[in-house]
Amino acid sequence: MRVSGGLNNAGINSLYTTLFQGKVAMHNNRLSREFFPTNNAQGQGSLSMSTMSYISDIKSASTGISNALRELSGSAFSQRTMVSSNNDAMTVSFSGGNTNNINDMSVEIDQIAMGQLNESSRLSANALYSGDRGVNRFAIETGGRTTQLSISVAAGDSNRDVQNKMASAINNAGIGLRATVEVDSQTNTSMLRVESTNVGTAEKNAFTISNVTGNAVSQLGANDVSRERQDAMFRVNGGPTQVSQSNNVNLGNGVSATLRAASPEVTVSRGRDMSIVRGVVESLVRSYNNLFSAAAENVNDPRAQGLASRLMNVTGAFSRSLQDIGIGFDSSGRMTIDSARFNQAMDNGRVEQFFNEGSGRNFGFTASLGRVADNVANNTSQFVSSSMFNNSVNQFSYLGFGNANQLNFLGTGTMFDYMF
């Protein structure tokens, strides 16, 4: 049959596309039968669920690495927020959106809100307790409610034993009090401390401890108040003193603060939002560990083991620099974060410098790890050995892990062998 006028390039492409799509549909039906037969034992011409899971895992993890590295070499360090000059005295959070129109603030903290604190007599820790033996009952009144508790004092109990028993009884009661036993190893003495978990001068935050039966409270001195409850007092930009029954306060302009200690001056100013950086780094570590674990644990696949080796080669080359910013590795090769060292490295700019080193010249950790991750994400089939398949056709396009425009086959056939 002759087609008058012939076919131009568009017509040829249209015909090719029609034929190709039809053959792909027919071929996918064959793949479905061969790779997912109804009664076919695993390994007899089928793609195992473990291999499918491995393919999915490495693609997802490598994409996560690429995304995190892209942020760390770009937008993560450009985000601005309001920051405190002294996080030990006051931490801040910002919900005001754009910081450009917000001026620096100066905050003076005269005192922070605290709860009532009772400190008992300091007694010889190991000395034999000289109070009443047997069951000792005591009452704690707080917030207009009275709770009775009891302890059992044995004949051989020491002062510290009885203090620990009373502390446990108070903590287990769940009445808004926290009890601890403080031991001075230098003098070998111990003291019971009972503190309200609620802060501020509200009357409901006061408490008293008294004997009911036995004399444990008076013997230990558990009702001796060493610090009265108090409110927070602070000033913003030299203004009037503000009083708060909570240490969570509003400084204005979308800036909230948590007061932690008295300080003559804390400055609040625009700075990088390190919480964003920390979140992206944690995402990078999580994705790296997922990719490394998937590869390293796939011991029957040489290409998976090769991927694990490539990852170790990259991180090994930068291990000292990674450790300098608080990123280390456990005994199995997975990444860990040392929070104290990482926070210090963020404060002095070392984290930003590390992730941007060599970015313009295509070397450094970001570029090196990024190349591996991008290769895995874009060419997933290279990291699964052909022995994992018992058919000539590569399943990656079928499974959604390949480029539909770049079909690759692990067998001896060509693309045209399977089309026509």
Give residue-wise pLDDT tens across range 187-235.
999 999 999 999 999 999 999 999 999 999 999 999 999 999 999 999 9
pLDDT of residue 387: 57
| Cα angle: 28, vertex 29, 31; to 5 degrees | 60
Contact 93, 268 (CB under 8 A): no
**Dihedral (C-alpha) 358, 360, 363, 368: value to the nearest 10 degrees?**
110
pLDDT tens-digit profile of 168-200? 999 999 999 999 999 999 999 999 999 999 999
- Per-residue pLDDT band for 274 (boundaries 50, 70, 90) equals confident
Contact 201, 245 (CB under 8 A): yes
pLDDT of residue 349: 86
Contact 231, 220 (CB under 8 A): no
Measure Cα distances from 265 to 102, 243, 261, 271, 382 in Å: 19, 17, 11, 18, 59
| Coil vs helix vs strand at 357 | coil
Q: Where are the domains of the chain?
A: 9-75+277-419, 80-113+231-272, 117-227
CA distance 410 to 381: 9
CA distance 129 to 159: 5
Pick from 194, 186, 197: which is nearest to 220 by CA?
194
Contact 165, 152 (CB under 8 A): yes
pLDDT of residue 148: 97
Pick from 193, 200, 199: which is nearest to 166 by CA?
193
pLDDT tens-digit profile of 311-342? 999 999 999 999 999 999 999 999 999 999 99
Ranges of beta strands (E only) in 171-216 are 177-184, 189-196, 207-213
CATH number listed for the domain at residues 117-227: 2.60.40
Contact 274, 106 (CB under 8 A): no
- Per-residue pLDDT band for 404 (boundaries 50, 70, 90) equals very low
pLDDT tens-digit profile of 7-62? 444 544 454 444 444 444 444 444 344 334 434 444 444 556 778 888 999 999 99
pLDDT tens-digit profile of 350-382? 998 999 886 555 678 999 999 999 999 999 888
pLDDT of residue 33: 41
Locate 102 and state its tokens.
């917000």
